[in-house]
Amino acid sequence: MNDKIARSLIYEELGLNPIWKELARKDAPVNMIAFYQELEHKQCSFLILAITDEADITDKQKLFKNIANYLSSITDRKNDNFKILSAFDMGLIDLATNPHYILLIADELRCSEEGFGKRYHSSTIIRTKVTLDQMIKTPKKKEVLWEDIQLLFNKLENK
């Protein structure tokens, strides 16, 4: 019996599982989590929104908190509280105003802009070129996020 268990673990570790097991694993539903914070700069409100899966959630939460704290420190209206939605649904995001801009940190495969377009039709969506996962795995990717943040602030300054 132990031999059978050990073999299945070995096959899984080596990536030699049968194809039907791999397909079932990829098709499994993924719980999405959203982190968001509403900020204001130059009398123009914006939302920073990160949508991700549950894997490595503590690292992602810490990274988002650092990003949100930095943005809060350079904006006009200080806000140190970010919110978490464990079951992501755009209807559950409660905002004081309709933001002018949304800085969206999300994987293209996991999140489409259609839902945002319906709910926030007057907002300009700036999709970042990196995800929280990518920034955690490769810290140099944070430079790409910095470029997206600069783009957002250029738009806020020129509004």
Task: Give the tens place of pLDDT for each residue, 74-113.
Answer: 887 766 677 777 766 656 666 667 788 888 888 765 555 5
45 token code pair: 């409100």
Q: Is the pLDDT assigned to residue 1 strictly greater than 50?
A: no
Q: Whose CA is closest to 131, among 41, 70, 67?
A: 67
Task: Give the tens place of pLDDT for each residue, 124-153.
Answer: 888 888 989 899 998 888 899 999 989 888
Length of the chain in terms of residues written: 159
User: How far, CA to CA in Å, does 143 sit from each of 10, 106, 150?
Assistant: 39, 16, 11
> Would the pTM count as exceeding 0.85?
no
Task: Give the tens place of pLDDT for each residue, 48-80.
Answer: 888 888 878 889 989 999 998 888 888 877 666
Phi-psi bin for 86: left (phi > 0), alpha (psi -120 to 50), beta? alpha
Domain-by-domain residue ranges, the chain?
1-29, 31-158
